[in-house]
Amino acid sequence: MKEFLFTKTHEWVQFLNETAARIGLTDYAQKELGDLVFVNLPEVGDEVTVKEEFADVESVKAVSCVYSPVTGTVKAVNEDLLDQPELINSDPYDAWFIEVDHISAKEELLSGEEYEQFIHEEE
């Protein structure tokens, strides 16, 4: 399995090769948000930009933005999430949001260990 990297805004990135990656929300994020009931995703062909919002997720209580850790083009979106946003709660590392290719920039990403440490400090 390919390695998961993390952002301080609680997204995960899994690089498929040098210029393509899948993006999702971390387990910590889904727990903090609670039961998710709606997801707004971009469309195939849309451009995403480092540290800019590309999707939003809604729990029963509130809406939260999801930020892109990379700059690139949306190659695929996980349409299962549109009908079953609860997949993000039940299996956050399987519930990818989008697949991006032609990646030209990425933010500084944390390793699993660094992310654990970061959450620990946040709490």
35 binds other proteins per the rule CB under 8 A? yes
Q: Count residues contacting other proteins (CB under 8 A)?
A: 12
- Contact between 38 and other proteins by CB under 8 A: the answer reads yes
What is 20-75 written as a DSSP string? EEEEEE-HHHHHHH-SEEEEE---TT-EE-TTSEEEEEEESS-EEEEE-SEEEEEE
**Using the rule CB under 8 A, is 63 a contact of other proteins?**
yes
DSSP label at 3?
P
Contacts (Cβ under 8 Å, ≥6 apart) of 68: 11, 23, 48, 49, 50, 51, 52, 53, 54, 100
The only residue of 27, 47, 58, 101 in contact with other proteins, by rule CB under 8 A: 58
Give the one residue of 60, 94, 112, 116 binding other proteins; rule: CB under 8 A. 60
For residue 24, the minimal CB distance to other proteins (Å) is 19
Q: Per CB under 8 A, does 59 bind other proteins? A: yes
CB of 35 to other proteins, least distance (A): 4
